[in-house]
């Protein structure tokens, strides 16, 4: 019976043929785990209680360059404030502003005409997690068109890769990986993961390729990333998402060449690629919440439509990125990139002199195998080791077991610190290890 226009009875907002089917999968989901960062901070508080409130502590657990380094330079903050005043405080388009899109396309990425990409392939997101959630939604709607399929991540993924996709209706599937190779994807593991999903009645929704990686710091060459992405597309993966949030945190700040990546694929294949980037890491702009997706116009249009009913972009967050590009992004990011590069060199040298196996590329994380010391301390895994180091030596690291069971004997050490602090943090770290084997 057609009830449209009959004001005496309720009506659905869409035609009944387009109603979402009733499904009770939310009732059967495992509880999503909260961040463990507060637990780590509580352990440092216990150290101060024991050794005095003036006892120095070293936080090598965080991924916030804005907390441990200068963060966004003051001149950029002030320039962005002036831009905000001139811009006003009205709503912007869901994709951000055209000024932002043009700046990112031309000054930040420098798209070449051959790629077919331009300002219309960029959509602003309110930080990296917002960008990821929008990417997941696009994968679901424009790929297989269903929830419950699998998003493929590495064997030891960033903790939010375990839970962010799951909250959106995707099952996270960790690919096979060899710790001796940093658990990195191989063409064989990508194909095997697709077969595994099929055996369990699932399709693949997409894959995330992160370089430099969180938590391991593993860095893949452009050639490796292209090979992995091509393998995934050929294996039937609907989408490949490159997470490049750390790609400017290298020894010299040189970014990944997006044109080189795009031109390695056919125009049809480029429609299935997405890139996430932002200024959270490269400018230490954690609470500015400024990121963007590069994607096909079909994906951008979908995300834009959805965003029109959701998060409204902050102009100030866009203005920071625009101001950095005005200055020259490499120069603007130097106040973070340079001390991190110095810390990277220092920590790598110390680790090479130690007996601790480690993974370390670019970005600002090193992943350390503490099996020997965990066993010496009688701990079950790296969670106990993390508490011990924080409470007894005032050095906080992230236990690898928080990322996945494959990392249970590892810890993540963040060197997003000035080199003098990295040196002192490393000294406390190694002192804590040696105390277990004396």
The predicted model gives 244-269 an average pLDDT of: 97
Domain end residue (candidates: 295, 328, 361): 328
Residues 52 and 85 reside in one and the same domain: no
Q: What is the pLDDT of residues 178-207, one digit of tens each?
A: 999 999 999 999 999 999 999 999 999 999
- Report residue 177: phi and psi, to 5°: -165, 150
Question: pLDDT at position 3, please?
Answer: 58
Residues 247 and 372 reside in one and the same domain: no
Helix axes 315-327, 74-87, angle to 10 degrees: 130
Q: Average model confidence (pLDDT) for the chain?
A: 95
- Residue 66's pLDDT band, with cuts at 50, 70 and 90, is confident
Domain end residue (candidates: 328, 361, 377): 328
Residues 319 and 221 reside in one and the same domain: yes
Residue 15 in any domain: the answer is: no
The predicted model gives 159-172 an average pLDDT of: 96
Q: For residues 363 and 212, is the Cβ–Cβ distance under 8 A?
A: yes
Residues 196 and 312 reside in one and the same domain: yes
Residue 7 in any domain: the answer is: no
Residues with Cβ within 8 Å of 74's Cβ and at least 6 positions away in sequence, in order, are none
If one compares 67 and 282, the residue with the highest pLDDT of the two is 282
Q: What is the pLDDT of residues 267-316, one digit of tens each?
A: 999 999 999 999 999 999 999 999 999 999 999 999 999 999 998 899 99
Q: For residues 378 and 263, is the Cβ–Cβ distance under 8 A?
A: no
Q: What is the pLDDT of residues 370-384, one digit of tens each?
A: 999 999 999 999 999
Q: What is the pLDDT of residues 26-44, one digit of tens each?
A: 999 999 987 776 677 788 9
Q: What is the pLDDT of residues 323-375, one digit of tens each?
A: 999 999 999 999 999 999 999 999 999 999 999 999 999 999 999 999 999 99
Residues 188 and 219 reside in one and the same domain: yes
393-395-398-399 Cα dihedral, nearest 10 degrees: -20
Instruction: CATH number of the domain at 237, please.
Output: 3.40.640.10
Residues with Cβ within 8 Å of 329's Cβ and at least 6 positions away in sequence, in order, are 107, 108, 248, 282
Residue 217 in any domain: the answer is: yes
Rounded Cα distance between 281 and 315, Å, is: 19
- Expressed as residue numbers, the domain containing 222 is 74-328
Instruction: CATH number of the domain at 360, please.
Output: 3.90.1150.10
Residue 26 in any domain: the answer is: no
Written as one string, the DSSP assignment of 54-97 is: TS--EE-S---HHHHS--S-HHHHHHHHHHHHHH-SS--BTTB-
Q: Which residues pair with 275 in a beta bridge?
A: 242, 294
Residues 252 and 172 reside in one and the same domain: yes
Residues 324 and 336 reside in one and the same domain: no
Residues 188-225 as b/e (b if ≥16 CB within 10 A, e otherwise) read ebbeebbebbeeeebbbbbbbbbbbbbbbbbbbeeeeb
The predicted model gives 399-405 an average pLDDT of: 96
Residue whose pair of structure tokens reads 């991190």 in the numeric block: 340
E strands in 104-153: 122-125, 150-153
Residue 358 in any domain: the answer is: yes
Question: pLDDT at position 185, please?
Answer: 98
Domain end residue (candidates: 296, 328, 360): 328
Question: pLDDT at position 6, please?
Answer: 86
Residues 224 and 90 reside in one and the same domain: yes
Residue 4 in any domain: the answer is: no
Residue 16 in any domain: the answer is: no
Question: pLDDT at position 324, please?
Answer: 98
Question: pLDDT at position 38, please?
Answer: 63
Residues 302 and 189 reside in one and the same domain: yes
Residue 28 in any domain: the answer is: no
Question: pLDDT at position 124, please?
Answer: 98
Question: pLDDT at position 41, please?
Answer: 74
The structural domain count of the chain equals 2
Residues 314 and 427 reside in one and the same domain: no
Residues 284 and 353 reside in one and the same domain: no
- Residue 438's pLDDT band, with cuts at 50, 70 and 90, is confident
Q: Roughly how many angstroms between the first and final C-alpha of the chain, as a whole number?
A: 81
- Residue 70's pLDDT band, with cuts at 50, 70 and 90, is confident
Whether the per-residue pLDDT at 45 is higher than 80: the answer is: yes
Residues 341 and 324 reside in one and the same domain: no
């Amino acid at each position: 019976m057609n009830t449209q226009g009959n004001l005496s009875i309720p009506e659905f907002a869409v035609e009944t043929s387009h109603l979402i089917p009733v499904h009770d999968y939310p009732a059967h989901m495992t509880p999503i785990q909260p961040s463990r960062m507060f637990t780590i901070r509580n352990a440092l508080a216990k150290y101060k209680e024991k050794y005095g409130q003036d006892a120095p502590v070293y936080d090598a657990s965080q991924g916030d360059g804005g907390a441990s380094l200068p963060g966004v330079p003051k001149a950029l903050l002030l320039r962005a404030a002036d831009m905000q005043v001139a811009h006003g405080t009205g709503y912007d388009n869901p994709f951000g502003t055209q000024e932002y899109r043009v700046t990112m396309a031309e000054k930040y990425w420098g798209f070449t005409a051959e790629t077919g990409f331009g300002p219309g392939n960029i959509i602003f997101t309110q930080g990296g997690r917002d960008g990821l959630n929008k990417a997941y939604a696009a994968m679901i709607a424009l790929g297989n068109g269903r929830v419950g399929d699998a998003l493929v991540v590495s064997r030891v993924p960033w903790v939010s890769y375990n839970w962010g996709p799951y909250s959106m209706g995707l099952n996270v599937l960790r690919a096979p990986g060899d710790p001796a190779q940093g658990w990195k994807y191989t063409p064989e593991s990508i194909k095997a993961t697709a077969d595994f999903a099929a055996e369990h009645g699932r399709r693949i929704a997409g894959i995330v390729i992160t370089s430099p990686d969180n938590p391991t710091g593993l860095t893949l060459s452009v050639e490796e990333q292209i090979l992995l992405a091509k393998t995934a597309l050929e294996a039937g993966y609907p989408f490949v998402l490159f997470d490049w949030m750390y790609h400017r945190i290298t020894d010299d700040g040189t970014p990944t060449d997006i044109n080189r990546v795009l031109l390695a694929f056919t125009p049809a294949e480029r429609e299935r690629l997405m890139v996430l980037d932002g200024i959270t890491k490269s400018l230490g702009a954690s609470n500015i919440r400024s990121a963007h997706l590069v994607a096909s116009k079909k994906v951008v249009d979908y995300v834009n439509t959805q965003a029109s009913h959701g998060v409204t972009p902050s102009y100030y967050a866009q203005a920071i990125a625009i101001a950095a590009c005005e200055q020259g992004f490499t120069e603007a990011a130097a106040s973070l990139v340079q001390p991190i590069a110095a810390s990277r060199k220092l920590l790598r040298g110390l680790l090479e002199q130690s007996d601790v196996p480690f993974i370390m590329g670019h970005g600002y994380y090193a992943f350390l195998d503490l099996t020997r010391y965990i066993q010496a301390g009688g701990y079950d895994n790296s969670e106990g080791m993390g508490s011990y180091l924080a409470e007894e030596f005032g050095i906080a690291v992230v236990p690898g077991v928080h990322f996945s069971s494959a990392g249970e004997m590892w810890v993540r050490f963040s060197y997003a610190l000035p080199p003098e602090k990295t040196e002192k943090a490393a000294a406390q770290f190694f002192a804590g290890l040696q105390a277990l084997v004396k």
